[in-house]
Every structure is written in C-alpha cells, then in structure tokens.
Structure 1
Amino acid sequence: MHLLHSCESGALATHSQQVPGYPFATVLPYAPTALHEPLFLMSGLAEHARNLKADRRASLLVAAPGTQDVLESARMTMVGEIEFLDRSEALAARYLRYRPEAESYLALGDMFFCVLRPRRIRFIGGFARMGWLDFAETPPALTITPEREASVIASAKIPPAVLLLGIDAYGIDMHRAGHRERISFSTPAGDDLEACVATALASIRGRA
C-alpha cells in the first residue's frame, strides 16, 4: 500500500469497446484514499471512461519512481472494479491536495470521480520476489474520517516547504522539493493518530 501512496500516476487497463476482447491501457494520475484505493477524476469523453461505463472491471499498474532497472524495481497491479462516486466537498478537497492542477477540470460538466475497489493485488518487489494478495486480507486499520483528517492537518506543526497531502492509519503523504514522499508510521495509528503524525513530521525536521 505504501507503493500506491508513493506514486503519482499509473497505467489503467480497461476492456475496450472499440476493439472488443482486447485490453485498453492509458496513463492516469490519481490520489490515494485513506483506505488505500486509487481515486480518479475522469472525463465522460475519455475512451477509458466509456469502457468503464460498459464494464467496470479494471486493473491499475504502479511502479516505484526513480528506478532505472525495471525488473529490479517494485511494482504492483491492483485488479478490481471501478465504482462511480457522487462528488462531495471532502472528496474534491482530498483529491486537490494531491492534484492541485486538476482544479480547473472540476468546473467542467462532464468530469466525475471514481475509485478502483481492489479484489486482488499482484506485488513484485524485484526479480523473483513476487506474490498475490487478496485485498480483503490486508490488515484492518483505523478509519479516518475527512473531518478528522482535516483537523489533524490544521493542527499539525508542518515544517517549511512541506505540504501535507493526506493521512491514513499507516503513514502520511507529503509534497516536498518537487516530489511526493511517503513516511510510514512505526506502528499503525489508533487513538494516537495525532502523536504518530507529529513523530513523522519531526523526523523530517531532523533530516533537514
């Protein structure tokens, strides 16, 4: 799940309606949700959107950024179904923290949010290091409401030149020095969420 949070885009494969029986892949930006699912903003005119309205089955491939040897790099394919979502202020706010350049797109009438609900995950940690995981078998975690996330972000002591993007039970996502970064908590957060975030942010100041 940390790999999903570390990447900014991936290759989304859908079932082609123009060429039936064949996959159609395209590169899309996304924002990870607090439940570790990729959230997309799509146009109804896009080819992949038309494909998904006919068949919601899809997969998303993400690969560790900044690696030169593809076979030795970490990558992950999430296989599942797309769910179309009603737009809400909380949904748009989280997406725009990760993808601020998308704000102008939200004014367009044919844009909509959707999320990939994974069934299974194929993770490859490098050459000959791989395996399948049922998403339902991932450890249960604290559910962080948008209201609590906003409250923690507002009260956090964020170092200069750091933009805090999102918080979940396993870590924080931030933007620093032109790149997205992920800092994992030492243990999954519970009632001590604020303390976990404070410790993670303190580690940034320690590296500065």
Structure 2
Amino acid sequence: MPRTVRTLLRALDRASLATNLPGEPAGWPYASLVLVAVDHDLSPILLLSDMAEHTRAIKADGRVSLLFDGTVGLDQPLTGPRATVLGRAVRTADQRLKTRFLTRHPDAALYSGFKDFAFYRVAVERAHLVGGFGKIRWIDAAELAPPSAPGLAEAEASIVDHMNADHADALQLYAAKLIGRAGEGWKMTGIDPEGLDLRRGGEVARLAFDVPLQAVGEARKVLVDLVGKARARP
C-alpha cells in the first residue's frame, strides 16, 4: 500500500488542496485545485500566489491536505485509487525544488518569477489511501518513505536535460511501447529511484522501474535496458 500511494502521487500533476480559512468565513475548510510536483522524498511541491485564498490560509496555519485522485476515466470512480496526504506547507527557496517543479510544469515558468508567487514544500505526516471498496488504510510518513539512491536528486536535472537533448527517440519508445501512450514529443520531466516521469503537452505519464535504483550510477544502465525492453515489444 505505501508504494501504491507513492505511485499515485508521482503519476499525477495536480491535486485538490484543502486549507483552513483564517478570515471571513473563518474556520471553514477551503478546497482548491493546484499544480503539484513531488520530490524524491515524496514531499509535494507547490507554486502559489500570495493573492490566493489558500496561500493566505497557509500563512496563518500551515496544516494542509492534498487529495490525489487516480479515478479519472473509470466507469465506476469509487472503485479506483485516491490518496489524501496530510502535512505542513512551508515556503522554500530551494533551487532544486524549483527546478523539479518547473520541469514538471514548464508553462509555470511564465509566472514563477513574479513577486507575488512563491514555492512551498509540504512535509508529509500521514496519508489516507482508499484503493477501492474495502481497501482503506492510514499510512504514517515513516512507512511512506521511498527508497533512496544517493546522488540521484542532485544529478536529476543533468540526466533529464541529457535524455531530452540526446535521446528523444528513447523517450518515444518508453511512451509508446512501455506505457502505451500515443503521439510524438514526449519529454522526460523527472527521475527518482522508483521510476521516471514523462510529459507531452497537457498529458503526463509514469514509467515505474522493475527494481528501485540504489545509486545514481545505476540510472544509465536502467535507461539503456529500458530501450532494449521497448524495442523487443511488438
């Protein structure tokens, strides 16, 4: 179940954010749609405007919840997975987090530098997974913790740039043969120990690794092996 939550969070590029309004109407929960990227440690990263109601709420009370809905397209949505993540949102100036978010959401670069926009990191404390009827469980942060690959987070930007610049054909193979997504122009937006993320316009896709990476040095071999696996597919 923890991996189900991690996969769900990483596969989606948006979530419903719930905050506690400090002003009128005070004390009411407030839900809004936000774009999201997820860091290597599973912390959601948000880019928020100071003028938004949810940002004013976070400045007064950093406790938030984020609903990641994996039921889109299902004939019976209540049979599909969704996870609500509870955590505390804190403003961040970490350049690596900014890069990860903007690579995931390239259009956000148009306004990310405005003075009234800022990045926030949500430190996850718990998650509530509903995997379908009868598949319900609270999961603590320690159990949600993803595997670690030392050096990968720091090398991620260069790996992504290299794949997009020099191996666009490999990314198309990943999308078409391993994930079953049509169309040209897929770009890599991230890589973490458990998989890699792709984007094509408004569409995102997640390719999970068979075995999690344990070190940054393993990334190249896995990416090459995936090309061979894709070419072997009919």
What TM-score does the superposition give when structure 2 sets the normalisation length? Answer: 0.80
Distance 1:162 1:202, change over 3 A: farther
**Which residue is equivalent to 1:84?**
91
Cα distance in 1 for residues equivalent to 2:90 and 2:232: 41
Moved more, 41-50 or 94-103: 94-103
Cα distance in 2 for residues equivalent to 1:207 and 1:178: 26
**Amino acid corresponding to residue 150 of structure 1 in structure 2:** A
Cα distance in 1 for residues equivalent to 2:51 and 2:151: 33
**Which residue is equivalent to 2:221?**
195
Cα distance in 1 for residues equivalent to 2:45 and 2:78: 27
Moved more, 192-201 or 105-114: 192-201
Cα distance in 2 for residues equivalent to 1:202 and 1:30: 32
**Which residue is equivalent to 2:68?**
62
1:13 aligns with 2:18: yes
Deviations 1:159-195 (A, max 9, x none): 2422000011110011147521111111110131222
Maintained 8 Å contact 2:8/2:82: yes
Cα distance in 2 for residues equivalent to 1:26 and 1:175: 23
What is the aligned counterpart of 1:151 among 155, 158, 175?
158
Maintained 8 Å contact 1:34/1:168: yes
Moved more, 141-150 or 76-85: 141-150
Moved more, 53-62 or 104-113: 104-113
Alignment of 1:23-172 (within 5 A): 23-64=29-70, 65-86=72-93, 88=95, 90-139=96-145, 140-156=147-163, 157-159=167-169, 160=172, 161-172=185-196
Maintained 8 Å contact 1:10/1:60: yes
Cα distance in 2 for residues equivalent to 1:21 and 1:178: 35
Deviations 1:94-149 (A, max 9, x none): 21211111111123111100011110111111111111111112354224454411
What is the aligned counterpart of 1:174 among 184, 192, 198?
198
Maintained 8 Å contact 1:183/1:200: no
Cα distance in 1 for residues equivalent to 2:17 and 2:208: 26
Structure 1 position 38, deviation (Å)? 1.4
Cα distance in 2 for residues equivalent to 1:75 and 1:33: 19
Cα distance in 2 for residues equivalent to 1:105 and 1:76: 29
Cα distance in 1 for residues equivalent to 2:109 and 2:161: 21
Give structure 1 stretches of 5+ with no counterpart: none
Maintained 8 Å contact 1:34/1:144: no
Q: RMSD of aligned C-alpha atoms?
A: 2.1
Structure 1 position 81, deviation (Å)? 0.6
Question: What SS is found at the alignment partner of 2:75?
Answer: coil
Cα distance in 1 for residues equivalent to 2:75 and 2:26: 35
**Amino acid corresponding to residue 17 of structure 1 in structure 2:** P
Maintained 8 Å contact 2:39/2:97: no
Give structure 2 stretches of 5+ with no counterpart: 1-5, 173-184
